[in-house]
Amino acid sequence: MKSKNIILLDHGSGGLETNKLIESIFLKRLSNPILERLEDSAQIDIYGKSLAFTTDSFVVNPIFFPGGDIGSLSIHGTINDLAMQGATPIALSLGIILEEGFSIGDLEKIASSIAQASKSVGCPIVTADTKVVEKGKADKIFINTSGIGILADGINLSSKNASPGDVIILSGFIGDHGAAILLSRNELPFDTKIKSDSAPLSELIKHLFDNLSAKERLQIKLLRDPTRGGLATVLNEISRASGVEIEIFEEKIPVRDEVKGVCELLGLDPLYLANEGKFVAVVGEEIASKVLSILKEHPLGKNSTQIGRVNKSRDGYQVILNTVIGGKRIVPMLSGEPLPRIC
Amino acid sequence: MKSKNIILLDHGSGGLETNKLIESIFLKRLSNPILERLEDSAQIDIYGKSLAFTTDSFVVNPIFFPGGDIGSLSIHGTINDLAMQGATPIALSLGIILEEGFSIGDLEKIASSIAQASKSVGCPIVTADTKVVEKGKADKIFINTSGIGILADGINLSSKNASPGDVIILSGFIGDHGAAILLSRNELPFDTKIKSDSAPLSELIKHLFDNLSAKERLQIKLLRDPTRGGLATVLNEISRASGVEIEIFEEKIPVRDEVKGVCELLGLDPLYLANEGKFVAVVGEEIASKVLSILKEHPLGKNSTQIGRVNKSRDGYQVILNTVIGGKRIVPMLSGEPLPRIC
């Protein structure tokens, strides 16, 4: 029996239990119109212009993994939260909690990785803080990054914007980050080349908006990156926020064979695996093919594909998967936590 | 013998070892003009105006203490970092790391405390993130808060601005926070009523600037809050940044009798104890008495007093204490970590 009075790993899943915890503990008390929007980043109006502001803590285990480390991940994660609002990142903060006894050599590697990631997106770290706790009171290193971005005029992205007839586009293969972390943690008895997809999406999003007309930009309804909780959880959040049904097609969703193999072996579903360099776009049908061809021009979007559509809500707000064998099933939000500390 | 290759608690002291770690690991790699200023908050120019941006992680132990808890402390700390740049806080972020098994009742108390502190300064929490790690991989709860503030025109505060002839003002009693944490941790065999001074300084700083003329405002050279590392460390940082000698007078520095008693018993120096609701102002001599009388009008500044002056550098950059018994001694930056996890 699970206790209701203590924090469980499930509360950190990014899925159902996280949402419930946030609502019952924090939203109830901290309630304000900006926080309640629950987007990937907040919108602040200042001097008649709009800024995006976001925060994320990273507790990934292990701290080094194929395709990245906690340093690069912490920059990409916050850059992507800004990018999902269509914001151009301008400044990052860095808050580091270290465990006594942590290797300074490893800290140097992580700092180099942070520096490289920050440079690659042209967004400096302008403020930082370091704390140390006793051995056994933290696990090596935890990193918080917060970020400020500038919101362009003429863009209006919100999880509430999906409407029937819209098209769902996914920017590439899913599950790579989750599978890479899992494999690097468990030392399973087989060798794969799965790497985390950890990458900054800001350039790809900029490339998209730069190549659309003002009118077309308004047909980009929302962008979301399916991190903790995976594609299934993000689609459920969109369905709930917009009050629509979302229908997706299993055969259209790109999953690498290696990731499929790992999922089959371990009884996991790639729809729930975390991604750190992918996004879902909900766009008006009339611009779908143009959006796809623009995304495919960029290395991070070359495997973009249309995976489904938005329908009028029938049986409540839900996500329906058309399976490869011709059936239909409801895909709920992630419940429980199969893979703690994925980011 | 201390190892050079691992992180020690000393690296989190806020004193000498923290400064060395930041320089050797982070500044070297993340180098940019904003970060290098090393002020309490960074200054970002946007739309022709200036914003302040700051971050702080809180790992205080215990999480509840006389005068506050980790929740209120995490809001006050970041609000104060903005206030020390003369910025009006407009938005806060909240990043929480929870240990599996942490009490939801305690989390509710902390969330209420965060809400109350945020409301009391009129600065909303606009974006948040929650992570959970396995039992034994963190100590109950760690909180990161980042904050954005608006910098007023006609204010120019920097640790580099102290010049010979300036006066050092302290806003009240020192050592309360450090002593309160220490006592709540050790269950010493005596009863005191020492409470943490944790408080938001933004209203007091606003009160100060509102009551000065434009010309007088420019005579406020810098504001710093002596948190980790205490008054001694902040004065050393100012001395080093401005290339001046700082001379203070022991008899002028307000220390409560209870705090003195604890320090004598435990062999601690109140100059190195942390404060969470006090600041040091370096001001031009001609406005010193006006600044003092303005500060004394506000409850958080009623014990403000002049504690010393800025001299031309003689024997390098240093802080000189004139003791009550008539001697002089050099007060170095904090070295080592007498009280880990004070904030």
Give this complex's ipTM.
0.96
Tell me what the mean pLDDT of segment A52-60 comes to. Answer: 97
What angle separates helix B176-186 from helix B257-266, to the nearest 10 degrees?
60
Residues in B closer than 8 angstroms to A104, CB to CB, are 4-7, 25
> For residue A4, what pLDDT is reported?
74
Contact B57 A9 (CB under 8 A): no
DSSP 3-state of B152: coil
Tell me what the mean pLDDT of segment A34-50 comes to. Answer: 86
Percent of chain A with pLDDT over 70: 99
Contact B128 A34 (CB under 8 A): no
Q: Is A193 exposed, middle or buried (0-12, 13-18, 19+ CB in 10 A)?
A: exposed
Element spanning B38, H or E = none
Contact B30 A115 (CB under 8 A): yes
> For residue B237, what pLDDT is reported?
96
**Which residues have a Cβ under 8 Å from the Cβ of A238 and sit 6 or more positions away?**
A159, A162, A222, A224, A244, A246, A280, A282
Q: Where are the alpha helices (DSSP H) in A95-253?
A: 104-120, 176-186, 202-210, 214-217, 230-242
Contact A22 B125 (CB under 8 A): no
Position with higher pLDDT, A220 vs A187: A220
Contact B54 A25 (CB under 8 A): no
Nearest chain A Cα distance for residue B262, angstroms: 24
Q: Does any CB of chain A come closer than 8 Å to the CB of residue B120?
A: no
> For residue A31, what pLDDT is reported?
85
Q: Which of A56, A131, A133 sits opposite B129 (nearest CB)?
A: A56
Instruction: Give yes or no for a contact between A227 and A275, defined as CB atoms under 8 angstroms apart.
Output: yes
Distances in Å between the Cα of B197 and the Cα atoms of B70, B204, B263, B275 are 13, 14, 17, 7
> For residue B38, what pLDDT is reported?
79
Residues in A closer than 8 angstroms to B44, CB to CB, are 90-91, 126, 148
DSSP 3-state of B149: strand
**Token code pair at residue A69:** 């480390």
Question: In chain A, what are the domains?
Answer: 32-151 (3.30.1330.10), 167-330 (3.90.650.10)
CA distance B160 to B168: 14
pLDDT tens readout for residues B78-123: 999 999 999 999 999 999 999 999 999 999 999 999 999 999 999 9
> For residue B3, what pLDDT is reported?
60
Instruction: Give yes or no for a contact between B295 and B196, defined as CB atoms under 8 angstroms apart.
Output: no
Q: Which of A57, A96, A129 sits opposite B97 (nearest CB)?
A: A57
Positive or negative CA dihedral for A137, A139, A141, A143? negative
Residues in B closer than 8 angstroms to A10, CB to CB, are 132
> For residue A3, what pLDDT is reported?
60
> For residue A305, what pLDDT is reported?
98
pLDDT tens readout for residues A107-154: 999 999 999 999 999 999 999 999 999 999 999 999 999 999 999 889
CA distance B178 to B259: 9
| Other Cβ atoms within 10 Å of B173 Cβ, number | 18
Instruction: Give yes or no for a contact between B163 and B310, defined as CB atoms under 8 angstroms apart.
Output: yes
CA A71-B141-B17 angle, to 5 degrees, is 55
pLDDT tens readout for residues A261-293: 999 988 999 999 999 999 999 999 999 999 999
Q: Does any CB of chain A come closer than 8 Å to the CB of residue B304?
A: no
Total beta-carbon pairs less than 8 A apart between chain A and chain B: 265
Q: How confident is the model at residue A90 (pLDDT cuts 50, 70, 90)?
A: very high
Contact A91 B53 (CB under 8 A): yes
Which residues, given as ranges, of chain B have pLDDT below 50? 1
> For residue B48, what pLDDT is reported?
82
Q: At residue B313, what are phi and psi to the nearest 5 degrees?
A: -65, 130
> For residue B339, what pLDDT is reported?
87
Position with higher pLDDT, A3 vs B281: B281
Contact B127 A6 (CB under 8 A): no
CA distance B95 to B19: 24
**Which residues have a Cβ under 8 Å from the Cβ of A139 and sit 6 or more positions away?**
A59, A61, A99, B133, B137, B138
Residues in A closer than 8 angstroms to B137, CB to CB, are 138-139
A window 37-96, beta carbon within 8 A of B? 41-42, 44, 46-47, 49, 51, 53-59, 90-91, 93-96
Strands B64-65 and B68-69: antiparallel
Strands B125-133 and B87-99: parallel
CA distance A233 to A228: 8
> For residue A1, what pLDDT is reported?
41
Residues in B closer than 8 angstroms to A18, CB to CB, are 130
